[in-house]
Amino acid sequence: MPARSKARQVEWARPDHHDCTTMTIGLYIIGDEILSGKRQDKHFARVQELLAARGMQLGWVQYLGDDPVLLRQALQTSFGRGDVALSCGGIGATPDDHTRQSAAAALGVPLELHPEAKRLIQQRIASAGLGSPQEPANQQRLQMGMFPQGSSIIPNPYNQIPGFSIREHYFVPGFPVMAWPMLEWVLDGPLRSLHRHGRYLERAAIVKGAMESDLTPLMERIEREHPGVKVFSLPSVDHPQWGRHIELGVKGEPSAVEPAFDALKAGLVELEAMVGTETVRKM
């Protein structure tokens, strides 16, 4: 097993400039082994935890195999939307790893050996006693430092082999022991301005025996009259306490949620709905 080592502190190249009210955060989970079932994905749940601890939420998640065409197309889409994207997997240097190349193709830029990545990989080769840097195997290892032109590196505290970032997309390995601390570095470094502690509120009420079709006009009216919130409904048919019910609520900035939820409750009274327990979730 590779020896643990502490990565040198690395500065990110771009200043904080994110607009936390408009940026969408997505997650790519990449690897044929996930889609085939040879390995069970652990990234989705962990990334949710990491984001929630910082008052952040995922806007989307996409599972992709090691297919260069599909990877390029997906990345072109998220680059084009201006999303923030976290990506786990496929950045090694074996023939079945295509994420680095696909990211470069999506942006129309070449791959190039990042000088700091080269230094870190050679440092790892030396510390692990892997022989001369000129040996073919070690030259192949340098391919892991070939990133799209203009990339910055993401330090890897586990074995020093870095990931990379470009255009608000952050690429880390598929191994959780490496990926998760690297993602924490990203979230607390380049993406720290997206932390939303105290800036997210979710209020809901349990509506017993209701049908979503009966509540849809009310939901549409609330979103139309309160554009700063999202209305949600979560139906259940066999809850042990509430039986058939719908959890109906609004979420968003606290200042927008409070009046929207008041209006939602008033609308439920007008519909003579059976309203039970209210729930509150803050981030």
- Choose one of 166, 194, 222: the last residue of a domain: 194
For the record, the structure tokens of 64 come out as 């992709």
Q: SS3 of 239, please?
A: strand
Same domain, 133 and 35: yes
Average pLDDT over residues 268-281: 89
Domain assignment present for 40: yes
Same domain, 29 and 102: yes
Residue in the structure block whose two tokens are 């990339």: 151
Instruction: Say which CATH number the domain at 97 has.
Output: 3.40.980.10
Same domain, 64 and 103: yes
Domain assignment present for 4: no
- Max distance between CA atoms of the chain, in angstroms, equals 78
Give yes or no for a contact between 46 and 180, defined as CB atoms under 8 angstroms apart. yes
| Single-letter amino acid, residue 201 | L
Same domain, 109 and 152: yes
- Choose one of 194, 220, 241: the last residue of a domain: 194
Residue 100's pLDDT band (boundaries 50, 70, 90)?
A: very high
Task: Name which of 114, 63, 99 is nearest 171 in CA terms.
Answer: 99
Domain count, the chain: 2
Same domain, 178 and 221: no
Q: What are phi and psi of 21, to 5 degrees?
A: -85, -15
Domain assignment present for 135: yes
User: What is the tens place of the pLDDT at every residue in 32-58?
Assistant: 999 999 999 999 999 999 998 998 999
Torsion (CA) 253, 258, 262, 263 in degrees, nearest 10: -40
Residue 4's pLDDT band (boundaries 50, 70, 90)?
A: very low
Please state the pTM of the whole predicted model: 0.79
Give yes or no for a contact between 44 and 29, defined as CB atoms under 8 angstroms apart. yes
Give yes or no for a contact between 75 and 104, defined as CB atoms under 8 angstroms apart. no
Average pLDDT over residues 247-264: 92
Same domain, 115 and 76: yes
- 243 by Cβ neighbours in 10 Å (0-12 / 13-18 / 19+) ranks as exposed
- Choose one of 141, 160, 194: the last residue of a domain: 194
What is the domain range of residue 269?
201-282
Torsion (CA) 81, 60, 162, 108 in degrees, nearest 10: -30
